[in-house]
Structure 1
Amino acid sequence: MPDQTTTSSQDRIPDRVYEATAALLILSGLLHLVVFAVDGGPWDGPVSWRKPVTFGLSFGVTLLAVVRVTSCLRLDARLRTLLLGVFAADCVVEVGGITLQAWRRVPSHLDMETPFNTAVSMTLAVGGGVLVVLLTVFAVVSFRHPPTGPAGMALAVRSGFAVLLVALASGTAMIARGVVLTRTGHQEAAYRSTAPLKPLHGVSLHAVLVLPALAWLLSRTPWSAPVRRRIVVAAVGCYWAAVAAAGVWAVLTY
């Protein structure tokens, strides 16, 4: 991933805090994988250890990727630090709420059965909205000004954020449809309604990590810049093909 070689060590302190936060979220996901192995129970469904595992890992990896990738953006340093701080805090709230409900053995999303569960579900929904806004801001910045970095990095970062917007849109659609079904008294249907969009959401969520990481790894090879750019272009095409396939599957099964 990109290095912040021009940034002072003092300015790097917030990034280290955010990266440590990401590591803790990843550790939480791994620890709950151990809990699942010991406690057992279903892997699928609205109440399972799968949720703290997958959300801990996904939010941790995404936070780490966004911290690294935004170092390539032409963005005021203090504004970037502020936006990343809000993003990191929101990631902690999301994973914390999901983990809390897993230990309480109740659904974390779309659960309006009690005032407390409703408060948790609405907090997670609002937190999701904050994530959408912040990541959209980063995406817009990446397209307004070419990201810095080695050959292919600008394309990788822009494509990563573009694909990430697909993940945000599919996630918003899942929550919106689920809330409508819940409000109209179709609780079980609300839980099932998210299944068709989950592959699309999962595939598109991590492009912002995979594509810039590939560009960074290629910069460590002896290959020429044009060769590295062509490899990144091919990888971007393959990733969009995977997103399109998941999108077709979502349409056919929705």
Structure 2
Amino acid sequence: MQKNIAYRTWHRSVVELWPRHEWLWPIFMTGIALLISGGCHLTMGVITGDDWSGPTSFRKPALFGISTGLTCISMSWVWGKLRIWSLDPVVVWLTSLALALEVTLITIQFWRGVPSHFNHATYRDAFIEVAMLVLIIIASLGISWLVFRSLLPGAFLTIEETHDPSRIPSTSMKSAIRAGLLLLWISLLLGFIISSIGWAEIQAGRNPELVPHAGVLKFPHGACLHAIQTLPLAVFVWQFLKCGHVLLRTNLLASAHFTFLNYACWQTFSGLARFEPAMGGMILLGLTSLCLLSALCPSRWIDAVLPTKRLSERGS
């Protein structure tokens, strides 16, 4: 019986990922296509024993394909839980097209054997670089629209508006979605900042991927880029396991993400390597660990600390 319940819950969660509106299919299918592309490049890189650290390695098309694909699928899932606005279909189409073309250009540059970023060696490379910048700006505007929509009061569907209870997110899931989207938006903003710094480093004759002397520029951009997946997934697991205090756990895990993002920024802009010991970084990393461990601790420990009635899955 328990296995049947677990299977039905898993099956319902998988089916829930499928778009509920026709206008969501472009971004969902874009995500699937990019995942397949990234997975193929990852497989080829492993088989050939490619050097993953180089700017022309399989890492670029694999990483951007998988990362962008997951983001597209997550956005289609989030949009399916929001009230529809008339501008939503247009934003979805533009965002899907921009992200698909951007990753395609990155993949083309890989197969040409040249870097996809910080590359103005030829007129063709310069054109592709500028085109990717325009495309990511368009995609960022689309993501900003989704973030803005999700943060508005009454943004999510209610039971009175739909006969499908699976589309109604719990309070914990709403918190996870909003925090995840906000972290995604901040990560995109950091992407533009580090790109500008990278070009400044090139003009100074230095490595565009490092802030002197060892700060890794891409570290802050990628630190919490996928919180829109990790936070809702954690809520799903906690609710599936019927853990108590799901909303509190969600907020603690979101705090861990934000603190780790601060840690990544501190290390990078202080010119330190990702995990190079430093007082400020160690404090932020300690706070991250504290929030993470608090989110994962047993419910009875939380009950012992908080003199409140344990939250049920439905109440959270």
Give the TM bin, normalised by the shorter chain: 0.7 to 0.9
What fraction of aligned residue pairs are identical, expressed as a percent?
Answer: 22
Is residue 21–residue 80 contact of structure 2 (8 Å, CA) maintained in 1?
Answer: no
Residue of 22, 30, 42 corresponding to 1:33: 42
Residue of 189, 196, 204 corresponding to 2:224: 204
What per-residue deviation string (whole Å, max 9, x for no partner) do you get for residues 107-145 of structure 1? Answer: 111211111111111111111211221111211222222
Distance of aligned partners of 1:43 and 1:64 in 2 relative to their CA distance in 1, 3 Å threshold: same
Residue of 79, 88, 91 corresponding to 2:99: 91
- Listed as ranges, the gaps of 5+ residues in structure 1 are none
Distance (whole Å) between structure 1 residues aligned to residue 52 and residue 215 of structure 2: 14
Paired residues, what number?
Answer: 246
Residue of 56, 61, 68 corresponding to 1:59: 68
Distance (whole Å) between structure 2 residues aligned to residue 220 and residue 43 of structure 1: 37
Q: Which amino acid aligns with 2:220?
A: L
Distance of aligned partners of 1:82 and 1:221 in 2 relative to their CA distance in 1, 3 Å threshold: farther
Distance of aligned partners of 1:82 and 1:135 in 2 relative to their CA distance in 1, 3 Å threshold: same
User: 1:14 is matched with which residue?
Assistant: 23
User: 1:144 is matched with which residue?
Assistant: 152
Note if 1:160 corresponds to 2:180: yes
Secondary structure of 1:46 counterpart: coil
Q: Which amino acid aligns with 1:153?
A: M
Residue of 235, 242, 257 corresponding to 1:215: 235
TM-score, structure 2 normalization? 0.70
Higher relative contact order (CA 8 A, sep 6+): 1
Query: Greater shift after overlay, 166-175 or 147-156?
Result: 147-156
Distance (whole Å) between structure 1 residues aligned to residue 91 and residue 222 of structure 2: 24
Q: Which amino acid aligns with 1:154?
A: K
Structure with more helix by fraction: 1
Larger radius of gyration, structure 1 or 2? 2
Is residue 3–residue 68 contact of structure 1 (8 Å, CA) maintained in 2?
Answer: no
Note if 1:177 corresponds to 2:197: yes
Query: Greater shift after overlay, 16-25 or 121-130?
Result: 16-25
Moved over 4 A (4+): 1-5, 191-195
Q: Cα RMSD between the aligned structures? A: 2.7
